[in-house]
Amino acid sequence: MQAFNPYLPSWEYTPDGEPHVFEGRVYVYGSHDRFRGQTYCLNDYVCWSAPEENLADWRYEGVIFKKTDDPDNPDGEGCLFAPDVTRGPDGRYYLYYVLSNKGYVSVAVCDKPAGKYEYLGNVRWPDGVRLGEREGDEPQFDPGVLTEGDLTYMYTGFCGPWDESRTGPMMTVLGPDMLTVVNGPVTIMPSAPYAKGTQWAGHEFFEASSIRKFDGRYYFVYSSVVMHELCYATAPRPEGPFTYGGVVVSNCDMHIDTYKPANKPMYYGANNHGGLVEVKGKRYIFYHRHTDGTNYSRQGMAEPVRFAPDGRIAQAEMTSCGLNGGPLKGEGYYPAYIACNLFTDKESVYTGGSGGNGFWMDGCFPKITQDGRDGDEEPGYIANMTESATCGFKYFDCRGVKRVGIRVRGYAGGRFEVKTQWDGPVLGSIPVRFTNLWTDYAADIAIPDGVQAIYLTYRGPGSAQLAGVEMGK
């Protein structure tokens, strides 16, 4: 069994993933988007887990907490934004979250990591006032939590780049009851209006607080104001002082300069959220990508990360084989939705309508999507493969590949060019014809032996849909 990106089924939309190892399994807690939804996080919390020994074998744990399980949300008007989970000093598991229409943190609890969680209460001051509602409190958002001994360190915040009322992400210490503030909150880094001339300039905090501890250091991962990147900072203590470290991952691969120019986007990016985890001595960053040409149908991704002896993290590259432990086998059929690169000759850093070059209209750029409605277990595919549209798959261990096939439908009468570099020579082309049925095409195309990327570029009239690619000998 091989592991792909996205690591969950193509019809699952669970972004903001916070991975944790509990009782020999990796559990991922995230928000839950709706396919074709009109905004973020419309569905209830679900959980997926995998054994530490096999990160390709993900199991659906079901719904672990419903929007209406919160007594302040009986009609489900508020959405469940990005959560986190920690194991408390009593051995139980605590789910921290913020409703989309509230400014305080709520907590649910369960005896097992996979739920089902039951509402416990709100994070509060010793006098019972909810944190976020006392005069002078800043609104709470996106809690990330870490428990050590009897204390839990909670990191929260949302800081728009022009909002002077938000000073930066906050760290608050909670007592053994997992609810009561015993210290803080303290601001651990400045927000954008206060970051000019500091180490944070250009990568100021936006949202998505996540906290871990490795090798005696505290690692704070966050989404910067440019949205597509997850950055990190380190500190010797939970309250800081924090030092900016760099970018861990970008969901459009900006800054990566190993296989393309550093400022060239290779996917359509937007907001990002995730966390670090160590599994069997290897470390990974979990994050998400955007599909269906919107911000609101996001899928979980993961990549291995390398830590230097001084604690610095090298930026991870977006791949199709994130949790696989190495390249995929260079043979057989692979679904198109595992493409990690997607672009045309017109560059855009952002998904259509989310900022930057927001001139895109549906049909003008390639996108990963599916048939059916939300919840239908329909396989994903790439739509809108028009002239110059390119999808890239990385990486495969190719040995003796002599033939390449594709599965295509749509009103397109052109060809797919096959390359091993996004700007490399064309190794061969596969003609396609107009059809509304999934149809297999193939051509004799030799792929050089070794670890290779596969890029497919559409040339010609019309718009094709791509279901998969196949390599054979």
Is 18 a residue of the active site?
A: no
Task: Please tell me the distance from the alpha carbon of residue 232 to that of residue 144, in angstroms, as a whole number.
Answer: 14
164: Cα separation from own chain's centroid: 28
Which residue's structure tokens are 């060809």? 415
Is 207 a residue of the active site?
A: yes
The pair of structure tokens assigned to 171 is: 């760290």
Max Cα-Cα span within the chain: 74
Task: Please tell me the distance from the alpha carbon of residue 91 to that of residue 150, in angstroms, as a whole number.
Answer: 11
Q: Which of 12, 16, 138, 239 is catalytic?
A: 16
309: Cα separation from own chain's centroid: 26
147: Cα separation from own chain's centroid: 24
Q: Which of 18, 69, 138, 207 is catalytic?
A: 207
Q: Which residues pair with 35 in a beta bridge?
A: none
The residues carrying an active-site annotation are: 16, 207
